[in-house]
């Protein structure tokens, strides 16, 4: 069972109380940007004129016949196992797959000689403008809640930009509804990796390979690269069958949300999770249990 409630804002930052009764856990998740600032970002960005993300048919016509879109998307999150997955990502792209960088992973990929086909940005903090990699040909998918400086930097690259909407509250919903005749909310989990799965499902994809999608620390590292914002977050031990994982609150929340999303939508997807983190273990053990039954 999952129980969720929003407490009063403190300093403009909403605090979301989440209880996972099956684990005996109660978490307090803090939105890292004041809701008023997020609303102002949305109000500004939806008026920039960028095309919206819009649902695409998962079927395509080949030689006159409709066939399912079979392109594999490699979705690259920033977990510590990413450092060991570079050659797998490169091989996927060479074999015809498309690589989707999330947030700061675009620079990590470029530094390792891989050009992402798409770059997704979600967070509302101004620091995300630093994640835009100049002089790289890619397609940007930027959430309307992002700081306007993110759009400014992406526009300088001359690349295509699509805007999408990660709606947080009724006020944001109404602002977007008042501006667009039609629009599509992208709501599915709190983290960029979970939103990316929903985003590209809307765009007609159903085959995913996840990289750096660990939801745990590995050898004490929370990311494959420096991410100072996460350094001070507390951690605790989570036992899953015969494994013990070192996790922070946001990691356990992502893990639990992922399980719920898989229960709800997983039948529509073909998915492989690389690495040896918590989520990869969950997927492998789930498959094993299904075979044994």
Q: What is the pTM of this model?
A: 0.89
The span from the CA of 10 to the CA of 4, in Å, is: 18
What is the overall mean pLDDT for the chain?
A: 88
DSSP string, 61-117: EETTEEEE--PEEEEE--SGGGGG-HHHHHHHHHTT-EEEEETTHHHHHHHTT---S
CA distances 141 to 5, 50, 117, 276, Å, are: 29, 10, 11, 28
Radius of gyration of the chain (CA): 19
pLDDT in tens, 138-189: 999 999 999 999 999 999 999 999 999 999 899 999 999 999 999 999 988 8
Which residue is it, tokens 């992402």? Answer: 116
pLDDT in tens, 78-126: 999 999 999 999 999 999 999 999 999 999 999 999 999 999 999 999 9
């Amino acid at each position: 069972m999952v129980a969720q409630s929003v407490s009063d804002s403190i300093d403009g930052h909403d605090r979301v109380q989440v209880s996972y009764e099956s684990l005996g856990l109660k978490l307090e998740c803090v939105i890292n940007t004041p809701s008023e600032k997020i609303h102002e970002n949305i109000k500004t960005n939806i008026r920039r004129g960028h095309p919206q993300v819009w649902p695409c048919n998962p079927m395509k016509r080949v030689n006159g016949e409709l066939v399912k879109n079979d392109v594999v998307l490699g979705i690259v999150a920033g977990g510590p196992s990413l450092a060991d997955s570079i050659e797998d990502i490169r091989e996927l792209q060479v074999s015809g797959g498309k690589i989707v960088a999330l947030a700061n992973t675009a620079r990590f990929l470029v530094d390792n000689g891989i050009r992402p086909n798409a770059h997704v940005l979600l967070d509302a903090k101004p620091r995300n403008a630093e994640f835009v990699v100049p002089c790289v040909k890619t397609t940007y998918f930027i959430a309307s809640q992002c700081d306007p400086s993110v759009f400014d930097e992406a526009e300088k690259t001359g690349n295509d930009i699509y805007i999408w909407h990660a709606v947080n509250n009724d006020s944001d919903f109404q602002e977007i509804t008042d501006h667009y005749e039609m629009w599509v909310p992208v709501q599915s989990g709190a983290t960029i990796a979970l939103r990316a799965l929903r985003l590209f499902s809307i765009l007609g994809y159903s085959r995913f390979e996840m990289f750096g999608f660990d939801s745990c620390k590995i050898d004490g590292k929370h990311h494959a690269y420096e991410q100072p914002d996460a350094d001070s977050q507390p951690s605790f031990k989570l036992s899953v069958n015969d494994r013990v994982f070192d996790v922070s609150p946001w990691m356990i929340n992502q893990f639990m949300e992922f399980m719920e999303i898989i229960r709800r939508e997983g039948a529509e997807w073909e998915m492989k999770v690389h690495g040896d983190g918590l989520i990869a273990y969950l997927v492998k053990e789930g498959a094993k249990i299904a075979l044994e039954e």
